[in-house]
């Protein structure tokens, strides 16, 4: 029967779980809107919806859900904007015009004009602190007003705050703008990842949540390329124009946002069943043959199952029962992602500090992002042919070996006089970026979108994004309902791939 870790099975709890999977008769009576939801579904409908999720192949799902794919990619444009905005200051530290406008002259022998270290830390930490606050605050309007309205408000705020950066008269104003803008930037990660995971079928969820990582790369690539174009310009517009280009993204998104469907999962939780079905119909082709009522029934069944697990929508619920394990996985995924050596943030400035001139440093920065772009495109290979767990652990081992090599090269006895060591370090970082963007980068977003309970997913997104994210369950090919049950039963992470669910799930899927 079910496997448990740390506690003995609860017969009553497991019996309720089985009854929900078979007949939906034991959903909690205090679930909001439960009678209306139950009236529109049956066990057979929900099971057929689950079977359809498993049956769809990658290409078939893409053809049938191409409208859903489009809207997921459209909302993810906010991540391109966010990556562009955040990385801009890191590259500006190596931009001659910005250095002269806001830096201190340390003399030719000490690098000339440089942004003081304390201001670099203040600007960098400003955006991070702001994102922590923003990722926390955005969950409240997302649950109350929905994903679309919350995104629209965030875009409007980005447009206003960009004025502070374009016309900043001092480093103090720039730091303040980073704190305030960071609050808004923190919201985009939560909204985009949540939306992508809620509008796509099982077979596409990994690709489109992984695409979010590609959006980061594209934003960084665009920003580095734009800044590179102004490297020989020494007036104020060399940095004001790149700042001003941030207005482009909110305009595009605000024009298309009214036509995007709202998340059907959110509508179900709001007991807006008719609107949820309409949203599902906007995500699939009219001639697809997909029965949206069966898909809706599967989603309602999952929602009721999660309510029966006594999961609410409070932050404290993230740390209760099996959710605590999910939270630990999501948080540590982003901790590892940040600590695994992704060199993008200060790459251009790093290249300059190890001895490359400004043009060489920016050219290497553009190359770094270009390689990262290709790596992210190829991330489909480990997603399709390898498990999440295997690819993640192998990539992490490679990162450790490469970073130690880069560090140890600095101890060479002729390091200061032999430039080949510096070029070797830069080259190794580019290779590391390629592997990182092919594996750890996108895989993190894929797994954290598959791991949380639906009802606490927004809060979970907030926590994991604050930490930027040990790898746990093999989640490939599992529906949210199946993951819910395996976590509730305490199935060890190493057994997720081969674990057999009880007859009530497997047999119903054959209907």
Q: What is the pLDDT of residues 76-93, one digit of tens each?
A: 899 998 888 887 877 788
Mean pLDDT of 146-159: 94
20 inside domain: no
Percent of the chain whose predicted confidence (pLDDT) is above 70: 74
What per-residue confidence (pLDDT) applies to 315?
63
Distance, in Å, from the CA atom of 233 to the CA atom of 231, rounded to the nearest integer, reads 6
- Check whether 388 has a pLDDT greater than 70: yes
Classify 478 as helix, strand or coil: coil
Residue 451 pLDDT class (50, 70, 90 cuts): low
15 inside domain: no
105: part of which helix (H) or strand (E)? strand 104-105
Residue closest to 185 by CA, chosen among 244, 110, 129: 129
What per-residue confidence (pLDDT) applies to 474?
53
Please say whether the beta carbons of 87 and 372 come within 8 A.
no
443 inside domain: yes
Residue 28 pLDDT class (50, 70, 90 cuts): very low
Domain range for 176? 34-510
5 inside domain: no
Residue closest to 102 by CA, chosen among 201, 151, 172: 172
CA atoms within 13 Å, Cβ hemisphere of 166: 13
Answer positive or negative: Cα dihedral of 180, 186, 191, 196. positive
* Least confident stretch, 52-66, 141-155, 230-244, 306-320: 306-320
* Least confident stretch, 238-252, 276-290, 298-312, 429-443: 298-312
19 inside domain: no
**Greater pLDDT, 334 or 32:** 334
Number of domains present in the structure of the chain: 1
Q: Return the CATH number at 451.
A: 1.20.1250.20
Residue 35 pLDDT class (50, 70, 90 cuts): low
3 inside domain: no
């Amino acid at each position: 029967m079910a496997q448990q870790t740390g506690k003995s099975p609860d017969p009553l709890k497991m019996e309720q779980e089985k009854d929900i999977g078979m007949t939906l008769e034991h959903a909690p009576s205090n679930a909001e809107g439960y009678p209306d939801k139950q009236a529109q579904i049956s066990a057979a409908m929900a099971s057929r919806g689950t079977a359809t999720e498993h049956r769809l192949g990658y290409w078939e799902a893409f053809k049938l859900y191409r409208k859903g794919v489009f809207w997921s990619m459209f909302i993810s444009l906010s991540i391109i904007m966010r990556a562009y905005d955040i990385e801009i200051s890191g590259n500006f530290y190596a931009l001659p015009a910005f250095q002269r406008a806001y830096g201190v002259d340390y003399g030719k022998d000490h690098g000339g004009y440089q942004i003081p270290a304390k201001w670099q830390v203040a600007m960098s930490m400003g955006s991070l602190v702001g994102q922590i606050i923003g990722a926390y605050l955005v969950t409240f309007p997302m649950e109350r007003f929905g994903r679309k309205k919350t995104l629209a408000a965030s875009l409007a705020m980005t447009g206003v705050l960009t004025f502070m950066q374009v016309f900043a008269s001092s480093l103090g104003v720039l730091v303040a703008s980073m704190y305030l803008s960071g609050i808004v930037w923190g919201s985009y990660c939560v909204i985009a990842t949540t939306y992508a995971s809620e509008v796509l079928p099982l077979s596409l969820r990994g690709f489109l949540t992984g695409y979010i990582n590609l959006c980061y790369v594209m934003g960084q690539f665009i920003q580095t390329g734009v800044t590179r174009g102004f490297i020989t310009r020494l007036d104020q517009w060399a940095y004001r124009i790149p700042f001003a280009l941030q207005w482009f993204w909110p305009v595009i998104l605000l024009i298309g946002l009214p036509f995007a469907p709202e998340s059907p999962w959110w509508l179900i939780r709001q007991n807006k069943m008719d609107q949820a079905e309409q949203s599902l119909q906007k995500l699939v082709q009219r001639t697809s043959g997909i029965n949206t009522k069966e898909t809706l029934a599967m989603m309602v069944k999952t929602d009721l199952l999660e309510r029966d697990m006594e999961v609410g929508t409070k932050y404290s619920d993230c740390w209760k029962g099996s959710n605590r394990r999910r939270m630990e996985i999501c948080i540590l995924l982003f901790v590892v992602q940040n600590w695994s050596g992704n060199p993008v943030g200060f790459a251009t400035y790093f290249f300059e500090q190890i001895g490359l001139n400004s043009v060489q440093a920016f050219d290497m920065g553009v190359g770094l992002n270009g390689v990262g772009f290709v790596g992210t495109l190829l991330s489909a290979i480990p997603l399709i042919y390898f498990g999440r767990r295997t690819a993640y652990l192998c990539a992490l081992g490679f990162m450790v070996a490469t970073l130690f090599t880069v560090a140890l090269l600095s101890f060479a006895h002729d390091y200061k006089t032999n430039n080949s060591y510096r070029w070797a370090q830069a080259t190794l970082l580019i290779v590391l970026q390629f592997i990182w963007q092919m594996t750890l980068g996108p895989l993190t977003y894929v797994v954290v979108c598959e791991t949380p309970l639906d009802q606490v997913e927004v809060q979970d997104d907030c926590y994991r994004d604050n930490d930027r994210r040990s790898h746990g369950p093999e989640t490939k090919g599992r529906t949210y309902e199946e993951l819910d049950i395996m976590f509730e039963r305490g199935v060890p992470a190493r057994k997720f791939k081969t674990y057999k669910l009880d007859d009530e799930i497997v047999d119903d899927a054959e209907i």
